[in-house]
Amino acid sequence: MLGQKTTSKKEFSRLNLSFCGLCSTLGTVFTPLAVSISFYLVVLCRVLQGLGITILLTILGVIPTSWSPKSEYSTYLAILSCAWQFSNIVFMPVSGILCDSSFGWRSIYYVFGVVTGIFFLIFYFFYTDLPRIHKNVSEKELGKIQHEKPENTCREAVPYRKICADRCVVAAWVSFLGGNLGFITLLLYGPTYLREVLQFDVRSTGYINALPYLLCAVYKFAAGKISDRVTFATHKAIYTFWLFSSIIGLSIGYIVMAWTSDRMIAFGAFSFAIVTSGLIIMATVKCLTMRCQQHCHFAVSAISFLSYCVQFVSPLGVGLLAPDNTQEQWSRLFIIIVVVMLVTNAPFPWLATQDAAEYTKRKDSRAFSAEKC
């Protein structure tokens, strides 16, 4: 989180994300070799892989703030957050094919390690932190991007204590924690559920697990465009609707999966849950950005940390509650997740607000020293 704070304040997003991408590439490519040598090397490779995603949620809040016109913020946010869906659309079917081929599971790490490196190289050479220094941004386009945005020529100290004590921010964090539990469980263990409980074969699991993510990407993009065009509702009403449409959709999907033993009904519920889950991240990031303004990088970094906590706890919960991969065990797990999602999201409509916090108010420029400006 401290590294991410530095990223957005000193305009080093490009360098930090590129470095994390390099680490992720190396960790992915060398994982098959590490498996043959030592358990501890595997752990090291996993840590390197994880560095690639440590900064992504923060970047998700920073890039639209810098690059999108105010009237298109939701569209930018929707497109960027589709990265999770697009990666699964490609990764799942290709991995199913490679696992089922003579190349074996190791080829997955080699192929996607190289692809990861290529994408991060493209990012490094084409992205700049600020639109005004990008060679392909015209004066007209820059004017559109900067329209109605406040000038921020001075760096300000981040009011950590005030942000952490802000009820709106805490409500968004708690809401994301519960919603992300539902999403991450499907993301990490959806293939296991499809293969072990619904009895799909490995190759079919790859294909059918990718389909809901494709639909989710379309759903997110449409939601972003519609939100930017809506004029009859407040920003809070829009992102609260986003959040609860996802939470209710996830809950319905989980409840149906827990209730039915029919293979096709369960798959339909699984797909419905994934498609509707995509707006959780959009809602919480939009809420935190509007509330924390120039300090949003810290607030969004915190949900990155919460996401990592969920990814750490989720395997423990699945291992404890569904060790034998039976329908009954998974049903129990699904019901617990639904309860957690509903409880953690209940306070959000009452505590969230679209108004900027007092600690975001710009101080008189005379209060800043020459070193800070």
**Mean pLDDT value across the chain:** 83
Q: Note the pLDDT of residue 250.
A: 93
Domain, as residue range, for 341: 2-367
* pLDDT digit string, tens, across residues 190-204: 878 888 888 877 666
Q: Note the pLDDT of residue 2.
A: 47
The alpha-helical segments, DSSP class H, found in the chain are: 2-9, 13-29, 31-37, 39-54, 56-67, 73-81, 83-99, 106-126, 139-146, 160-164, 167-192, 202-229, 235-259, 263-276, 279-292, 296-321, 327-345, 348-351
* pLDDT digit string, tens, across residues 67-115: 888 778 778 878 887 887 788 788 878 887 888 788 888 899 999 999 9
Q: What angle do CA 45, 47, 50 make, to 5 degrees?
A: 110
Q: Kindly state whether residue 372 falls inside one of the protein's structural domains.
A: no
| Cβ contact 25:113 at 8 Å | yes
- Number of domains composing the chain: 1
* pLDDT digit string, tens, across residues 206-233: 677 778 888 888 888 888 888 878 888 8
CA dihedral sign of residues 162, 163, 164, 170:
positive
Check pLDDT > 60 for residue 328: yes
Q: Kindly state whether residue 129 falls inside one of the protein's structural domains.
A: yes
Q: Is 300 helix (H, G, I), strand (E, B) or coil?
A: helix
Separation CA 41–CA 21 (nearest Å): 19
Q: What's the pTM value of the predicted model, to 2 decimals?
A: 0.79
Q: Note the pLDDT of residue 363.
A: 60
Check pLDDT > 80 for residue 265: yes
Q: Kindly state whether residue 161 falls inside one of the protein's structural domains.
A: yes
Q: Which long-range contacts (CB under 8 A, 24 or more apart) does 207-211 make?
A: 207/92, 207/93, 207/96, 208/267, 209/88, 209/92, 210/88, 210/89, 210/90, 210/91, 210/92, 210/93, 211/271
* pLDDT digit string, tens, across residues 284-300: 888 888 888 878 878 88
Q: Note the pLDDT of residue 214.
A: 84
Q: Kindly state whether residue 139 falls inside one of the protein's structural domains.
A: yes
Separation CA 11–CA 157 (nearest Å): 15
Rounded to an integer, the average pLDDT of 355-363 is 80
Total residue count of the chain as it appears in this document = 373
Q: What is the CATH number of the domain that holds 132?
A: 1.20.1250.20
pLDDT band at 301 (very low <50, low <70, confident <90, very high): confident
Q: Kindly state whether residue 41 falls inside one of the protein's structural domains.
A: yes
Q: Note the pLDDT of residue 151.
A: 62
* pLDDT digit string, tens, across residues 238-254: 889 989 999 999 999 99
Check pLDDT > 90 for residue 341: yes
Separation CA 164–CA 358 (nearest Å): 14
Q: Kindly state whether residue 373 falls inside one of the protein's structural domains.
A: no
| Cβ contact 86:94 at 8 Å | no
